[in-house]
Amino acid sequence: MKTVEVVVLIILILALALLITVGFEHIMPSTAVRPPAEFYLYATYNPYKLREYTVMSPEAVTAIVWDFRGLDTLFETSVFYLALIAGLALTRRLLSERAEKPGHGLSLIVKTVTRITAPMIIVVGASIALHGHLTPGGGFQGGSVIAVLPMVIIVVFSVSFLIMRGFTTSKMIIMRSLGLFGIGLTAIALFLVSLIQGTHAYVFQNMIKPDAQTSMPIYIAGALISGTLWFFNLFEMFAVAAGFSIAFIVLMLARTLQVEER
Amino acid sequence: MEIINTYLLSVVLASLLANFVISLYAIFFKPHYIKKIIALTIFSDTANTFAIFIGYRRWINQNPSKVPVLTDLNPRAVEEFAKLAVDPLPQALVLTAIVIGLAVILFLVFLGWILYSHYKTLDMREIRRLRG
Amino acid sequence: MLSGETGIYILMAVVSLISTLAVYMAVVEKDLVKAVIYSALQSGLYTILYFLLLAPDIGLVYIPVAVGLIPGVLLILISKTERWEKE
């Protein structure tokens, strides 16, 4: 019965594709990109001709996310924070933070392999995050890779193992708030510096602009860091990893409403 | 040859449309809460894939298109980069969209837990009937 | 006979067709654990599609999020509520 449905589905898709080819030629990808994309590709690393509009980072996507359209990313980070706080507020009454009797977890082979691969996960995630301005990657990618680690530890060992080692919900909330505070400070760093000096600068400024001549350092000890991009990636990695750990620990510890006084 | 290339790209487009339709049907007509969450995940991911598919660039004169990351830093390579690379703007917008979709689904999972501990079931027809 | 461009497009078409199959199996299935596994399979196929469409940033976000974190959270919720979808 299922085979018939699957074959009918595939034939329908192939027929629809034939219809689209004949009738709708103008919505397929073509050999040219749109004009805003040409400007962003031209201006992402161009100290030769566009010194006052460039970002000095060879990676176009990270430059767009944190410098050209940086305000979008700021508000997306706050939306994520609001969703986490809302979930935490909903289940506040149902948490049991006492360290219960530790569960068994899985077998010894799985526990040994987890102990070996846990530092590797952290190193890979940090490398993806901190090289975000040179290769594909960035703060959010590295933070998600590191956030896989608490979930693996909760499944293989038990959730009491994590809490008795000191990774409680309160400490994760503190780490997340420190990450967000770091992002906010980096965003207005140049503004404060130029307020003290008496010159003109914008909020969220990275490199020199036509009428604001202060700039973040491009090279530190010979290595390219592209100004605020490296600091944004570092703080975003901490904030994202801590945020996901809070969600896992709270969801694993929630108990039913019946057990409480009701 | 151009017709075969256009036909293969439109197979991708037609299968994305089929994913849209199947997941939209599952959001409305399947009664269990967790099945609705799975279908919502598939729906938002298909919308993001559609946005990236629009930003693709076909090959010009048998030169392959490039990823939007510069590898050479001399001035001539920077000039040619804008003529060969794929559109980076949909990728930056889809990055934001994935994070916001993730936040919504995380919140829905918390809400599902509260719903279960109130009504003792996650079948939406039962909850509509009880309406406590 | 085959130029490189047509080869990449054939690979894209095959991956999208298999992903539609995985979506259909996930929607029809009554056991919710199997439905989550089919949805993770569909996300893995979408990641291959992202790499073929020359977007490695998005592929690097999508792999830990849609194959590791979202099925993990859904499986924790299933283990605390019910597992079978009735009728």
Q: What is the pLDDT of residues A35-76, one digit of tens each?
A: 888 888 888 888 888 888 888 888 899 999 998 888 889 899
Q: Do C68 and A244 touch (CB under 8 A)?
A: no
Distances (CA, A) of A128 to A9, A132, A138, B76: 40, 6, 6, 29
Q: pLDDT-based confidence at A98, cuts 50/70/90?
A: low
Which residues in chain B come in under a pLDDT of 70?
A: 132
Find how far residue C81's CA is from the centre of its chain.
24
Cβ neighbours of B95 in C, within 8 Å: 57-58, 61
Q: In chain C, how many domains are there?
A: 1
Is C25 inside any structural domain?
A: yes
Cβ neighbours of A6 in C, within 8 Å: 21, 24
Among left, alpha and beta (phi > 0; psi -120 to 50; other), residue C79 is alpha
Backbone angles phi, psi at B32, to 5 degrees: -90, 145
Is C85 inside any structural domain?
A: no
Is C24 inside any structural domain?
A: yes
Which residues in chain C come in under a pLDDT of 70?
A: 1-2
Q: Show the domain range for C13.
A: 4-80
Complex prediction ipTM: 0.93
Backbone angles phi, psi at C3, to 5 degrees: -80, 165
The residue among C55, A213, A147 whose CA lies nearest residue B54 is C55
A residues 10-39 lying closer than 8 A (beta carbon) to C? 10, 13
pLDDT at A200 over 90: no
pLDDT at A259 over 80: no
What's residue B53's pLDDT?
92
Q: Show the domain range for B117.
A: 2-130
Cβ neighbours of B55 in C, within 8 Å: 55
What's residue A88's pLDDT?
86
State how far the Cα of A13 lies from the Cα of A15, in Å rounded to an integer: 5
Q: List residues of chain C with CB under 8 Å from any CB of chain A.
A: 17, 20-21, 24, 28, 56-57, 60-61, 64-65, 68-69, 72-73, 76-77, 80
Contact B66, B37 (CB under 8 A): no
Q: What chain B residue is nearest to C74 in terms of C-alpha separation?
A: B109
Contact B104, B112 (CB under 8 A): no
Q: In chain B, how many domains are there?
A: 1
* Six token digits for residue A100: 């219960």
Contact B7, A21 (CB under 8 A): yes
What's residue B128's pLDDT?
86
DSSP 8-state secondary structure symbol assigned to residue A223: E
A residues 204-223 lying closer than 8 A (beta carbon) to C? none
DSSP-derived secondary structure for B103-131: HHHHHHHHHHHHHHHHHS--BHHHHHHH-
Q: Do C61 and A144 touch (CB under 8 A)?
A: yes
Q: pTM score > 0.80 for this model? A: yes
- Structure confidence by residue, pLDDT tens digits, A84-96: 888 888 887 776 6
What's residue A31's pLDDT?
82
Is C10 inside any structural domain?
A: yes
Is C35 inside any structural domain?
A: yes
The residue among A173, A130, A172 whose CA lies nearest residue A149 is A172
Cβ neighbours of C68 in A, within 8 Å: 148, 151
Is C69 inside any structural domain?
A: yes
Which residue among C56, C64, C69 places its CB closest to the CB of A136?
C56
Alpha helices in chain A (DSSP H): 2-23, 35-43, 60-63, 70-90, 108-130, 139-156, 159-164, 169-187, 189-197, 228-253
Q: What chain B residue is nearest to C15 in terms of C-alpha separation?
A: B12
At C31 the three-state DSSP class reads: strand
Average pLDDT over chain A reads 85
State how far the Cα of C85 lies from the Cα of C31, in Å rounded to an integer: 7
Q: What percent of chain A clears pLDDT 70, i.e. is strictly above it?
A: 94
Instruction: Provide the residue type at A208 as one letter.
Output: I
